[in-house]
Amino acid sequence: MRFLLIALFTLFGLSGWAQKGENTYEFLNLPGSAHTGALGGTNVSLQDVDPSMALGNPALLRDTMHNNLAVNYVNYIADINFGYATYSRDYNALGTFALGVQYINQGNFDGYDELGNFTGNFVAQETALSLIWSYPISSKWNGGLAFKQVFSAFEQYSSYGILFDAGISYLNNNFSAGLVLKNFGTQVKTYTEDNFEPMPFEIQMGFTQKLNHAPLRFSVTANHIQMPDLTYKSGLDKYSNPLLDDQNKTPTFGAKALRHVVFGVEFVPSKNLYVAAGYNFQRRIELGIENSMSTVGFSWGFGVKISKFRISYASARYHLAGTSNHISIATNLSSF
């Protein structure tokens, strides 16, 4: 079964439909926990007791997360910061529910009119409130839904939107897999009159495999599988890598496929400790500087349980001038 699922994920990840476009509410696709940030920024299959994982795939919410609380903070790039808080509770026959809030603050700005007159300071920030529900379809399959309300404000412009996630997950011993349709919905109130902007809709799928006789766990996640070609023509986007015949030519099939894939590996000597690393090919090829790629696209982190708290940290390199730091703290309130 697991090999069939891996094959289906691979084939589905190389096909799809959609059009490119600029989306609003893109902050919804930021990593929901330090664990996810350490694994490359995306994971829809990893089974954990952290309810924040349900922000990536609502089907990852399980009864084992009953009465768990998780808080995440990320010192992003420049003056930008964002964070999450998630609380989960199981109601037996009704399923497992979680409440989540996520925000992004892009800092303070100086405002000027078209004549250059100072109009005062303003902030740019967005917030999303989530209600997540999951239910076991069988002993191995789980389904989940998420309902999200998004509030966005940029100076005098504001917007309100309603979005949904729908996902499934599969768990069989040391193998797990997930599929999620994220952020389909619409703006209820637009920034400007009658100008409805596209949502950051995305289909993601992936699998996680832990070795039976070694403390290693591997994750592979496919992003944007509804959009086969993520490349674009730009003088800043140099395709100088071994998968291309020439940096000015159209990327090969291999380069296009890798832009969809995020790789993660973990060293898990016990249930109370993990050390993780991730690689995001698209992030590296689009944000790296030619002849000075450094560690762009790579991420790493660790998690440890101390007393009643699970503390996680991750560092993700977006480009040479931008490294984000993720901190997560989670606990089971029943332990108190």
DSSP string, 250-319: PPPHHHHHHTTEEEEEEEEEETTEEEEEEEEHHHHHHHSBTTB-TTTTEEEEEEEEETTEEEEEEEEEEE
Looking at per-residue confidence, does 122 or 51 come out higher? 51
| Residues of the chain above pLDDT 70, percent | 85
Least confident of 12-21, 128-137, 205-214, 231-240: 12-21
Here the tokens at position 10 are 């691979």
Q: Are strands 81-90 and 157-172 parallel, antiparallel or unpaired?
A: unpaired
C-alpha angle 276-44-29 in degrees, rounded to nearest 5: 95
Beta-bridge partner residues of 330: 70, 310
Residue 8 contacts residue 15 (beta carbons within 8 Å): no
**255 band by pLDDT with thresholds 50, 70 and 90:** confident
254 phi and psi angles, rounded to 5 deg: -65, -40
pLDDT, residue 283, reads 83
* CA distance linking residue 13 with residue 225, whole number of Å: 5
- For 290-312, write each residue's pLDDT tens digit: 666 677 889 999 999 999 999 99
Neighbour count for residue 193 (Cβ, 10 Å): 5
pLDDT of 5 strictly over 70:
no
Q: For 2-107+121-335, CATH number?
A: 2.40.160.60
Ordered alpha helix ranges (H), 151-266: 253-258
pLDDT, residue 126, reads 95
User: Average per-residue pLDDT in the chain?
Assistant: 85
Residue 262 contacts residue 221 (beta carbons within 8 Å): yes
Here the tokens at position 327 are 């901190």
pLDDT, residue 10, reads 43
Query: For the chain, how big is the Rg over CA atoms in Å?
Result: 20
pLDDT, residue 108, reads 83
- For 59-114, write each residue's pLDDT tens digit: 999 999 999 999 999 988 778 889 999 999 999 999 999 999 999 998 888 888 88
pLDDT, residue 59, reads 96
* CA distance linking residue 53 with residue 36, whole number of Å: 8
Q: Kindly state the average pLDDT of the residues 126-150.
A: 96
pLDDT, residue 290, reads 67
